[in-house]
Structure 1
Amino acid sequence: MKVVIPCAGWGTRMYPVSKTLPKELLPIVNKPILSYVIEECIENGIEEYIIIVNPYKLYIYEHYFKNDFPDLKVKFVIQNEMKGYVDALLLCEYYLKEPFVLILPDNLFVDDGSFLEKLIKKHKEKGCSVMGVSIAKGDPRRYGLVRHEDYKMLEFVEKPENPPSNLAHNGWDIFTPKIFDIVKLVEGEENIKTTVAFNKLIEEEGMYACEYKGEWLDTGNPNEFVKSFLKLVDKELLPHKSL
């Protein structure tokens, strides 16, 4: 199985530190955020890595993978314009003819085993796309939420006034190639396109939610970054190479 990891954004929530180093490579304890993701992928048998970057960051990621993960099969895809999740996904279509993992690397998960292992197991059981979800942090109206029956998704709603549940999309998913047929047909702003695409996938192919019941760490904003650091500093971690 392949994994797609979008890393092209500017990390504006983490300014000014992200002006000098991509936010995905900021260290938490003794290794970059992205290394937590890559290591979990390796542990779960992911064979190929598609990393979406903007042209200004490419050399940094080439250096990172060459030094820290020299044996991985890595393909870099360039996103010249920051048009969001759907555009980034479409750039990878040529390389994705089978179900694949998509990970937004700001998000880490601890205290309930491997989340990727759970996603892969759910995908194999159900044979369709799987959306990673966790209990929303604070006000659920700030999130994309799922309406479901026993985790079979009935609807995806973005930042609803009347939340259908407290299960929020957490940025780790498995998609079938059907997603490409769908996203090509949707129009509008990024949040609208994503919502429409998810609901079309639910309608046409079916989709399940997979809940992570441990702790969801969002490293993409300063407050949560500090909380993530404090959470992980107590974990038993191996020494890691420096950038």
Structure 2
Amino acid sequence: MNYKMPTKAIITDAGFASRFLPITKTIPKAMLPLGNRPIMQLVVDECIKAGITEIIIVATPEGKPIYEDYFNNSVNHIRKQLKAQGKLDRYAPIQEILDYPKITVIEQDQSYPYGNGSPIASARKFIRDDEAFIVAYSDDVVFGTSDVKTLIDSYAKHQDAQAIIIAQEMPREVLNKYGIIRLQDETKMTLHDIVEKPKIEDAPSNLTSYGRYLLTPDVFQYLDPKNTGLDGELWTVDAITRMVKDGNVYVEKTRGHWMTTGDPKNYNLASLYYATEFEDYGEALVDFLQK
């Protein structure tokens, strides 16, 4: 079956983020900043640049009101104060957020098992049976391009796709830290499976899979709470791998630079990269670090 081109994206931030405690007991992990914007906003921006018109953020019960406030609260008292001070230009970043396309924030279904597939399954009712859709993990940020646009452009060429996933080539010495792609057909760039954290010598390629996917509704028959995998969790990768038997799952290489923010070390590396590359004080920061 050919599905309609994606117009919706599911962005997930429904985990406990225990490696970031104590700050994440109060603030969702994807609300941690890169520069003066939270990680979540960068992922939303990536989707908007690709033409996505509806975004569903899947959050924890504690995170839901925080995201709703961030994307919907116009803080008019701040606007009035800035206007009185002749500094209304400082309100522009807030207006940018308020002008975003439709953003709906939902809670992950608490009856579902732990795992990165459960937030996607929780958003099932927002996806029509005749449309493909985007999934983005807020742990992952992409600089220099929109992976979401790459996925949509690829789907325009591969209407037979059951799914399309993004990959980045990584150095051999870190292949044991990620999910590594095994290709079924290297010319067509179709997926065979994804090997989680293989021994370096057993890695089937240097292509690392991360959280940017174009999926079709077929995935929901596999993202069933009963289909748990390792450690009793519901894994998106397991569902995508099962989809291979139904048809082609294509692999696209990122045109940008992916970094994970999923742990404090990598979050701080991504934060430094963002600040030095994209903030107007980046040069001063580089100078400070060199000294």
TM-score (norm. length: structure 1):
0.88
Deviates further, 24-33 or 180-189: 180-189
Structure of larger gyration radius: 2
Q: Work out which of the residue numbers 107, 115, 129 in structure 2 matches 1:84.
A: 115
CA distance in structure 1 between the aligned counterparts of 2:190 and 2:233, rounded to whole angstroms: 22
Relative distance call for 1:80 and 1:116 in structure 2 (3 A) is closer
CA distance in structure 1 between the aligned counterparts of 2:39 and 2:262, rounded to whole angstroms: 10
CA distance in structure 2 between the aligned counterparts of 1:79 and 1:210, rounded to whole angstroms: 29
2:57 aligned partner, one-letter code:
I
CA distance in structure 2 between the aligned counterparts of 1:229 and 1:200, rounded to whole angstroms: 35
Question: Is this contact kept in 2: 1:158–1:191, CA < 8 A?
Answer: no
- What percentage of aligned pairs have identical amino acids? 28
Task: State the match for 1:110 in structure 2.
Answer: 143
Task: State the match for 2:221 in structure 1.
Answer: 181
Deviations 1:155-209 (A, max 9, x none): 2222233211111111111101110122237333356744432221112121011
Structure 2, unaligned runs of 5 or more: 1-6, 74-93, 281-291
CA distance in structure 2 between the aligned counterparts of 1:70 and 1:192, rounded to whole angstroms: 34
Deviates further, 99-108 or 192-201: 192-201
Task: State the match for 2:182 in structure 1.
Answer: 147
CA distance in structure 2 between the aligned counterparts of 1:31 and 1:229, rounded to whole angstroms: 11
TM-score (norm. length: structure 2):
0.75
Helix, strand or coil at the partner of 1:234: helix
Alignment of 1:5-154 (within 5 A): 5-67=11-73, 68=94, 69-71=97-99, 72-81=101-110, 83-97=114-128, 98-111=131-144, 113-127=145-159, 128=161, 129-136=163-170, 138-148=173-183, 149-150=186-187, 151-154=189-192
Question: Is this contact kept in 1: 2:191–2:250, CA < 8 A?
Answer: yes
CA distance in structure 2 between the aligned counterparts of 1:22 and 1:187, rounded to whole angstroms: 25
Runs of 4+ in 1 over 6 A off after TM superposition: none
Task: State the match for 1:167 in structure 2.
Answer: 207
Structure 1, unaligned runs of 5 or more: 239-243
Q: Work out which of the residue numbers 227, 233, 242 in structure 1 matches 2:269.
A: 227
Relative distance call for 1:44 and 1:196 in structure 2 (3 A) is closer
Question: Is this contact kept in 2: 1:106–1:218, CA < 8 A?
Answer: yes
Relative distance call for 1:235 and 1:134 in structure 2 (3 A) is same
State the aligned residue count.
Answer: 237
Structure with the bigger percentage of helix? 2
Deviates further, 83-92 or 183-192: 183-192
